[in-house]
C-alpha cells in the first residue's frame, strides 16, 4: 500500500483523473472537518458497503491521523482493490499543511 503525505495528495488532486477520496471517520468528525469531494463511509460500515466502491479506481483512504485509514486501505487491498493509498497524516495533516480553513480537532 502506498502512503501519501498531505502535499502529495494535494498535487495529485490537481492532476487529471483525481482519485476517489474515501473518508472513513465517524459522522461527528466529518461534521467538524472534511476535504471537499470526499466520499464518507465510516470504518465500521466498509465491509457491508464495499460494493459501493470501485476496485479498479485509484482510492485514497482518509481518517484523522492515518491509523484507521491504513487499516481500511489494507482491508481494501485484501479484497481485490488494486490502487489504494493511505493519507498518512490524515485530515489533521491536510489542515496543517494544505488547507488552513479546515479545522484542527
Please state, as a whole number, how many other Cβ atoms lie within 10 Å of the Cβ of residue 67: 11
* Predicted pLDDT of residue 16: 86
Domain with 24 in it: 2-97
Cα–Cα distance for residue pair 24/48, rounded to 1 Å = 13
- With respect to residue 62, please indicate whether it lies within any of the assigned structural domains: yes
pLDDT band for 61, please (50, 70, 90 cuts). very high
Q: Which residues are catalytic?
A: 63
Q: Which three cell numbers stand for residue 101?
A: 480553513
Q: What is the CATH number of the domain that holds 41?
A: 3.40.250.10
- With respect to residue 102, please indicate whether it lies within any of the assigned structural domains: no
- With respect to residue 105, please indicate whether it lies within any of the assigned structural domains: no
- With respect to residue 31, please indicate whether it lies within any of the assigned structural domains: yes
- With respect to residue 104, please indicate whether it lies within any of the assigned structural domains: no
Task: Report percent pLDDT > 90 for the chain.
Answer: 96
pTM for the predicted model, two decimal places = 0.96
* Predicted pLDDT of residue 78: 98
Report the chain's mean pLDDT, rounded to a whole number: 97
pLDDT band for 71, please (50, 70, 90 cuts). very high
- With respect to residue 103, please indicate whether it lies within any of the assigned structural domains: no
- With respect to residue 68, please indicate whether it lies within any of the assigned structural domains: yes
Q: How many domains does the chain have?
A: 1
Beta partners for 59? 20, 84
Amino acid at each position: 500500500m502506498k502512503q501519501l503525505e498531505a502535499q502529495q495528495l494535494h498535487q495529485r488532486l490537481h492532476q487529471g483523473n483525481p482519485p476517489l477520496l474515501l473518508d472513513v471517520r465517524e459522522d461527528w468528525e466529518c461534521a467538524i472537518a472534511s476535504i471537499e469531494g470526499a466520499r464518507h463511509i465510516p470504518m465500521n460500515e466498509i465491509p457491508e458497503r464495499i460494493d459501493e466502491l470501485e476496485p479498479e479506481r485509484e482510492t485514497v483512504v482518509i481518517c484523522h491521523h492515518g491509523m484507521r485509514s491504513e487499516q481500511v486501505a489494507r482491508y481494501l487491498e485484501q479484497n481485490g482493490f488494486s490502487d489504494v493509498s493511505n493519507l498518512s497524516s490524515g485530515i489533521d495533516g491536510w489542515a496543517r499543511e494544505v488547507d488552513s480553513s479546515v479545522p484542527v480537532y
